[in-house]
């Protein structure tokens, strides 16, 4: 039977888990849409997580100034000028291939003074120039693979020969 203290701990645990889940969902939703400073001022980067050396798209709005250029700055790619495109401000930019992995703020500055920011996560998974060292070097003998194959085939042939010999002796003993 549960004591009142145990029930209180269970309720507090459930409430703490619900609070964490709510915070995570809010963070994900805010990160997916970009941070919004004013009603119609925002900046978003797609994809929001990208490998160094790849292109990302930047889309923004400067409220009532989407027919004018705006600047976006980030340590991930320096400065890019956004140009009017179907009611938004857009640009594409390449993250330098040698950019270290990390989270980089992306900041929009509009001519009307509005600002907005979001975060771009850069991954830098460098590709190895050669295969990994997996052994087979100094400890492996030369030509040992074919020796093992010949030995295995010889053992199989000997086993098959003994099997046939045993089968013939059994048939001879039964008179069949």
Domain ranges of the chain: 33-123
Q: How many helices (H) and strands (E) does the chain have?
A: 2, 8
| Residue-level pLDDT at 152 | 76
| Residue-level pLDDT at 173 | 66
Q: What is the pLDDT of residues 103-120, one digit of tens each?
A: 999 999 998 889 999 999
CATH topology of domain 33-123: Immunoglobulin-like (2.60.40)
Q: What is the pLDDT of residues 92-106, one digit of tens each?
A: 999 999 999 999 999
Cα 155 → chain centroid: 49
| Residue-level pLDDT at 116 | 95
Q: What is the mean pLDDT of residues 47-73?
A: 93
pLDDT > 80? residue 52: yes
pTM reported for the whole predicted model = 0.51
What number of other Cβ atoms are within 10 A of residue 104's Cβ?
18
| Residue-level pLDDT at 139 | 54
Kindly list the distances between the CA atom of residue 6 and the CA atoms of 3, 14, 18, in Å, as whole numbers in the listed order: 5, 12, 18
Structure tokens at 139: 């400890």
Element (H, E) at 16: helix 4-33
């Amino acid at each position: 039977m549960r004591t009142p203290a145990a029930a209180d701990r269970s309720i507090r645990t459930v409430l703490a888990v619900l609070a964490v889940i709510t915070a995570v969902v809010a963070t994900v939703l805010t990160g997916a849409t970009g941070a919004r400073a004013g009603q119609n001022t925002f900046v978003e980067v797609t994809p929001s997580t990208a490998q160094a050396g790849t292109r990302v798209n930047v889309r923004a709005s400067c409220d009532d100034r989407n027919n004018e250029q705006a600047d976006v700055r980030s340590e991930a790619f320096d400065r890019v000028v956004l140009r009017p495109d179907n009611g938004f401000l857009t640009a594409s930019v390449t993250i330098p291939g040698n950019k270290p992995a990390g989270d980089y703020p992306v900041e929009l500055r509009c001519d009307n003074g509005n600002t907005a920011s979001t975060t771009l996560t850069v991954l830098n998974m460098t590709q190895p120039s050669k295969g990994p060292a997996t052994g087979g070097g100094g400890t492996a003998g030369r030509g040992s693979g074919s020796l093992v194959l010949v030995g295995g085939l010889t053992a199989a042939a000997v086993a098959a020969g003994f099997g046939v010999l045993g089968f013939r002796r059994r048939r001879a003993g039964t008179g069949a």
